[in-house]
């Protein structure tokens, strides 16, 4: 974000005067601020409110990134779900550090989250899986995510086989599918301003609390 030619603010509305970038007046927990910003993005009509770029790294240090959907956030961290045999899951298992980037251009805002990653509990994965449409649950069983396949016909045949295996709506959680939680150690909030003098504040975990620091743009 942020070149010299970039407009400081979106034309959808003025800057929120209550949004403090003064560390002394900032929220004491970044999750509270994140939730408020996400809700502001929804109110502004963002179609990317829950879309985030997940960055991972292989054991050899090769970076990779992809767009995923945030499925939950609380004071424990940021949760996403995937096939545990996918490349991103293999990265996270071998090198359990993740980075999330949220971009809300309607508000000219960005949030970056970084920290260690852990699997969510089996119970959490099962609870979320039950909320998915039946077709999505069948698809989780049918798709060998990110592997080379011979064509769409192969995928559709696999889906039909799974649908015959699990008739009705009672589709269980696959043993190879579940969630990860990014536990924030650093959360940075960015908001565009005029003359490239953007506002940035970073929350850095220290012990049981957070150090709040303003950063130069």
Please name which of 108, 105, 68 lies closest in space to residue 88, comparing C-alpha atoms.
68
- Residues across the chain: 217
Q: Which residues pair with 206 in a beta bridge?
A: 209
SS3 130: helix
**Catalytic site residue from 196, 200, 205, 214:** 196
- Are 110 and 104 in contact by the 8 Å Cβ rule? The answer is yes
CA 194 to chain centre: 28
| Residue 152 designated active-site | no
Q: At what angle do helices 134-142 and 152-165 cross, to 10 degrees?
A: 120
Alpha carbons 160 and 163: distance in angstroms, whole number: 5
8 A C-beta contact, residue 200 and residue 8: no
Going through 84-172 in order, the beta strands assigned E by DSSP cover 97-104, 109-119
Catalytic residues: 196
């Amino acid at each position: 974000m942020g070149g010299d030619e970039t407009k400081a603010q979106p034309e959808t509305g003025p800057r929120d005067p209550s949004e403090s970038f003064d560390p002394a007046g900032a929220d004491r927990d970044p999750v509270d601020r994140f939730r408020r910003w996400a809700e502001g993005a929804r109110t502004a009509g963002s179609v990317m409110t829950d879309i985030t770029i997940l960055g991972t790294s292989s054991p050899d240090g090769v970076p990779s990134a992809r767009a995923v959907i945030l499925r939950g956030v609380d004071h424990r961290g940021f949760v996403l779900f995937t096939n545990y045999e996918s490349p991103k899951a293999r990265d996270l298992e071998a090198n359990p550090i993740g980075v999330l980037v949220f971009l809300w251009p309607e508000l000219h805002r960005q949030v970056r989250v970084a920290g260690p990653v852990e699997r969510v509990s089996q119970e959490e994965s099962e609870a979320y899986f039950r909320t998915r449409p039946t077709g999505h649950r069948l698809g989780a069983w049918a798709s060998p995510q990110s592997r080379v396949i011979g064509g769409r016909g192969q995928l559709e045949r696999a889906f039909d086989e799974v649908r015959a295996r699990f008739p009705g709506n009672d589709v269980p959680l696959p043993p190879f599918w579940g969630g990860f939680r990014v536990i924030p150690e650093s959360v940075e909030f960015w908001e565009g301003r005029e003359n490239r003098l953007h506002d940035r504040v970073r929350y850095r975990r220290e012990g049981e609390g957070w150090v709040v620091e303003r950063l130069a743009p």
